[in-house]
Structure 1
Amino acid sequence: MSIFKAAETIGNALEKALEVPLLILSVIMTFTVLLGVLFRYVFVSPLSWTEEFSRYMMIWMALLAVAPCIWRHEHVGVTMFVKKLPRLLAKGIIFISNAFILFFLYILVVYGFKMAEGGKAQLSTALNTSMYWWLMSVPVSALLCIVMLICKMILDIRRKDLDEILMAEDIVATVKREENLEFDEPTLKGDGR
């Protein structure tokens, strides 16, 4: 198996594996928020834990969703300047940019684990659980992002079209389709008044 095939297989498998926990976290968070609203406004007896629990679910969900977004090229980026450069220079700049992102993610992993270790003895306010489990969202997410970004960088080596490197596949298809369209000049139609 080539390194490109392995990178694609790992990236696709990790993306699929993350879809289920993301869906579950989304459902749990939504249910918890609705439960909190129901008890607060309908039964006029608010539950003390729903706000905190839904907040931690949202944090885990948002941070876990970063890795699939890296894989799908769905993060915001300013590409106007890079697209105007020669292809090899642009690919080099993109590679260096991704290397900086990898370094940042590495820092998040190292200090994220330290932060989680430091939070072991600290208890969450309403849930009365160790903050370790909630703080682990940072290094876990960063590790997943590192794997996804390395797989993406490997695949970017053989990609020829800059749009394939910079944009999500569905956006590339839309842009290419729109570039081939010819638009007529708009005509203003008056009603004769």
Structure 2
Amino acid sequence: MGKIIDWLSDLFDRFSRFTIVLLFAIAFVSVLYQVFSRYVLQGTYVSDAFPSIDFSVFTFPWMEEFIRYLFVWIVFLGIGVVYKRKGHAQVELLTAFLAKRWRRRVGIIVEMINAGFFLLLLVKGYSMLKLTNGQLSPSLQINMVWMYLSILVCSIICLAHSVASLMKEVRAQSNPDVEQSEPQSTELAEIEEPIKTKLSI
């Protein structure tokens, strides 16, 4: 069971990172086109050079709303990516003075609270979907369910990460010889190792 949860957590993480990069690329291109169409195609120089062409048809009024919705999805998917790596803000003033056994116990309690919160967010997110079903966005005229679906997806991803982390903490608690898992990702460790080597030199 633990391997399945870990596999789902890693799968959700890869999906989130790939989707964030894709959405960022789409948003970047959209912003560039919006600036180009507004300040170049509708500029006085282009209008004077091509007076017979109406360049206003190349300006899409819905693009600003489209970019805003892309960033909504980027933010909610990014929450799961940051949570898996324990990159969110944490108060470690009290746990730093605890023994390793008690730090693990506190970590289990914290993960149980987080899992409960994400489960509650999952239920409330589903209720929000039913409430907003049928509402249309002002410019794109798309169902607002697609926007509030980001809350539901975020809660599912974070719940999987939280359960996976909780099971790791429980296994570490039952086996005191196992070192507590570091919150840093392997990518960050690979980056920090050459820096530490240079500083020691």
Normalising by structure 2, what TM-score? Answer: 0.76
Per the alignment, residue 80 of structure 2 pairs with 67
Contact 1:98 1:153 in 2 (8 A): yes
Question: Which one of 7, 10, 13 corresponds to residue 9 of structure 1?
Answer: 7
On the 8 A contact 1:105/1:143 being kept in 2, the answer is: yes
Q: Which amino acid aligns with 1:96?
A: I
Give the distance between the partners of 2:63 and 2:74, measured in 1 at CA.
16
Paired letter, 2:95: V
Q: CA deviation at 1:81?
A: 2.2
- Structure 2's unaligned 5+ residue stretches are 43-55, 173-177
State the number of aligned residues.
178
Alignment correspondent of 2:146: 133
- Secondary structure of 1:80's counterpart equals coil
2:112, 2:166 within 8 Å by CA — same for their partners in 1? no
Structure 2 counterparts to residues 28-177 of structure 1, below 5 A? 28-44=26-42, 45=56, 46-159=59-172, 160-162=178-180, 164-169=181-186, 174=192
Give unmatched runs, 5+ long, in structure 1.
184-193
Distance 1:13 1:55, change over 3 A: same
- Describe how 1:173-188 pairs up with structure 2 within 5 A: 174=192
Q: CA deviation at 1:49?
A: 1.0
Which whole-Å CA distance do the structure 1 matches of 2:66 and 2:132 have between them? 17
Could you tell me how far 1:169 is from its partner in structure 2?
Answer: 4.5
**Hey, what's the Cα distance between the residues in 2 that align with 1:19 and 1:10?**
14
* Contact map agreement 1:7 1:155 (CA 8 A) in 2: no
TM-superposition CA deviations, 1:59-93 (whole Å, max 9, x none): 11111122222222222222232122011211111
Q: Give 1:107's aligned amino acid.
A: L
Choose 56-65 or 18-27, whichever is displaced more.
18-27
AA paired with 1:103?
G
The residue aligned with 2:25 is: 27
Q: Which residue of 1 aligns with 2:53?
A: none
- C-alpha distance in 2 between matches for 1:167 and 1:93: 19
Q: Is the 8 A contact 2:121 2:152 kept in 1?
A: yes
State the alpha-carbon separation in 1 of the partners of residues 67 and 99 from structure 2. 47
The Cα offsets for residues 91-145 of structure 1, whole Å up to 9 and x where unpaired, read as 1111111111112211211111111221112111111111111111101111111
Give structure 1 regions of 4+ aligned residues with deviation exceeding 6 angstroms. Answer: none
RMSD over aligned CA atoms reads 2.6
Sequence identity (%): 22
Cα separation, 2, equivalents of 1:112 and 1:38 = 38
3-state SS of the aligned residue for 1:150?
helix
Given that 2:137 and 2:143 are in contact with CA atoms closer than 8 Å, whether structure 1 keeps it comes out as yes
